[in-house]
C-alpha cells in the first residue's frame, strides 16, 4: 500500500517520516481556501483537510493523507501572512494573548473511507514589542504561514504557554495522524 501526501509542504512530509510513514509521493491539492460565509474555525480546518485529500488523484492501493492548520482568535480565522504588512498585523493581534491552532487531518483509505480528526492547541504568546515584531518579520520565516509565524523556528521563543499538539501547530498532529493511518490499514515503518 502506497502513501500519498496531499501537500508539497516539507514540514508535513518530515512530520510523517517521524512516525514511520514516509510518503511514496506528494501532490499539490488545488482548492479554494477562502472561508465560507459564517464558517467557524474548527469546521473550516476540517473542511479544508477533507477537500485537500479529495483533490488529489488516488490510484488503487493508495492512501491519501492531508492536513490543514488554521490559527483562530475566538471565532475569527486568521489568514496566512502573504505580505509583511499582514504578518505585522497578525503578530500584533497575537501579542500577549491566547489563540487556537486547529490542526485537522484527513485520511482517505484504499477503500475510499474518509476519516478525519482535529487537534485544538491553545498557544499564548508573550507581549511582543514593536522591535521583536520587526525582527521576526525581517527574518522571513513566518511569511506565508498561518497566523504569520512558524512555531518550529524563532517564534517558539514567543510562546509562554502551549496546551495541545506541538506537531499540530507545526502542520500535522502526529497522534491523530497515526491513529487515522492505523485505522485505514497503513503499516507504519
**H-helix or E-strand spanning residue 29:** none
Whole-angstrom CA distances from 28 to 4, 8, 64, 132, 156 are 10, 6, 12, 34, 28
Straight-line distance from the first to the last Cα atom of the chain, in angstroms, rounded to the nearest whole number: 12
Is 1 within 8 Å of 38 (Cβ atoms)? no
68 labelled catalytic: yes
DSSP reduced 3-state for 25: strand
C-alpha cell at 15: 512530520
Concatenated DSSP letters for 84-130? HHHHHHHHHHHTTSEEEEEEEEEEE-TT--EEEEEEEEEEEEPPPPH
Among 24, 32, 68, 92, the active-site one is 68
Distance between CA atoms of 6 and 69, rounded to whole angstroms?
14
Distance between CA atoms of 184 and 189, rounded to whole angstroms?
15
Distance between CA atoms of 101 and 121, rounded to whole angstroms?
5
- What amino acid positions are annotated as catalytic residues? 68
Amino acid at each position: 500500500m502506497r502513501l500519498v501526501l496531499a501537500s508539497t509542504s516539507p514540514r508535513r512530509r518530515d512530520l510523517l517520516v517521524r512516525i514511520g510513514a514516509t510518503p511514496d509521493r506528494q501532490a499539490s491539492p488545488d482548492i479554494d481556501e477562502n472561508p465560507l460565509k459564517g464558517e467557524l474555525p474548527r469546521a473550516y480546518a476540517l473542511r479544508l483537510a477533507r477537500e485537500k485529500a479529495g483533490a488529489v488523484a488516488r490510484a488503487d492501493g493508495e492512501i491519501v493523507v492531508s492536513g490543514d492548520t488554521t490559527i483562530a482568535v475566538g471565532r475569527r480565522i486568521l489568514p496566512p501572512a502573504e505580505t509583511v504588512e499582514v504578518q505585522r498585523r497578525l503578530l500584533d493581534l497575537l501579542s500577549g494573548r491566547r489563540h487556537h491552532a486547529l490542526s485537522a487531518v484527513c485520511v482517505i483509505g484504499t477503500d475510499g473511507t474518509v476519516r478525519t480528526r482535529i487537534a485544538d492547541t491553545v498557544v499564548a504568546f508573550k507581549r511582543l514589542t514593536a522591535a521583536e515584531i520587526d525582527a521576526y518579520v525581517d527574518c522571513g520565516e513566518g511569511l506565508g504561514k498561518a497566523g504569520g509565524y512558524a512555531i518550529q523556528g524563532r517564534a517558539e521563543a514567543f510562546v509562554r504557554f502551549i496546551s495541545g499538539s506541538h506537531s499540530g501547530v507545526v502542520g500535522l498532529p502526529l497522534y491523530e495522524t497515526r491513529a487515522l493511518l492505523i485505522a485505514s490499514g497503513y503499516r507504519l515503518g
